[in-house]
Structure formats: structure tokens, C-alpha cells
């Protein structure tokens, strides 16, 4: 089992994928990009909540509450901010170094809002 520290730390896209996929994933992949970015392309197993929503006081979606979180954005900047914010509110969150750009570069799947092959915007 993976242990998450209370302070935000960074993990690789390969670590993120291994923690968030399978029949019983250890963590939830939380994509904090804006809606248009999400619609263009995201990881198939990810759940979506824009950073702007978190900053406005919103929390993670119900399927992510009380679970370890692996936070991702396009390049890794917003996810680092989101992971820190989530940790300050009692979550166990880490962010993905390099974000969805690195995810796609590693050859991990990307789907659009309709479930077709997506792209990182």
C-alpha cells in the first residue's frame, strides 16, 4: 500500500498511473484543469474539478472524498497549488510532475469528453 504524506509531494506520471488504475486503485486521479482542457483530453480514469472551483471553496467530487488524491494539470503548476490546498484542508494529496504533457509524452492514454482519442490543450 502507498502512504501519502500530509505535505504536498510530487510523483512521476508512471507512479500516478500505477496508483490510480486497476480494479481497486489506491488513489483517485484528480484533474484540476479547466473544462475546455478537460474536454480536449484527459486520463480515462481521472475525475474532474477545476482549480478555480477548489480556490472558490469547493471540495473534491464525491468519488474522491476521503481517498488519497493524485492531482494533475497540464504542466504541473496548478496541480502543485491544488495539492497544497487540499492537504491544508485535511486531504492526502500529491501532484504529478510534468502534468498531462508528461502523461501523454509517456504514452499513457488520453481521451476527450466523448471518450475518443484526445489531445492535451
Query: CA triplet 62, 90, 63: central angle to 5 degrees?
Result: 15
Residues 10 and 83: their CA atoms lie apart, in Å, by: 9
Q: Which residues are catalytic?
A: 73
| Nearest residue to 49 via CA among 19, 21, 69, 20 | 69
Cell representation of residue 10: 510530487
Q: 29 and 70 in contact (C-beta within 8 Å)?
A: yes
Amino acid at each position: 500500500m502507498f502512504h501519502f504524506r500530509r505535505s504536498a509531494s510530487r510523483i512521476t506520471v508512471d507512479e500516478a498511473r500505477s496508483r490510480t488504475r486497476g480494479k481497486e486503485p489506491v488513489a483517485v486521479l484528480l484533474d484540476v484543469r479547466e473544462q475546455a482542457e478537460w474536454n480536449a483530453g484527459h486520463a480515462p480514469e481521472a475525475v474532474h474539478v477545476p482549480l478555480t472551483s477548489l480556490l472558490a471553496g469547493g471540495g473534491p467530487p464525491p468519488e474522491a472524498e476521503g481517498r488519497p488524491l493524485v492531482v494533475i494539470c497540464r504542466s504541473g503548476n496548478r496541480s502543485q497549488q491544488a495539492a497544497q490546498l487540499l492537504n491544508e484542508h485535511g486531504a492526502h494529496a500529491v501532484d504529478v510532475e510534468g502534468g498531462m504533457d508528461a502523461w501523454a509524452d509517456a504514452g499513457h492514454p488520453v481521451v476527450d469528453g466523448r471518450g475518443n482519442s484526445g489531445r492535451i490543450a
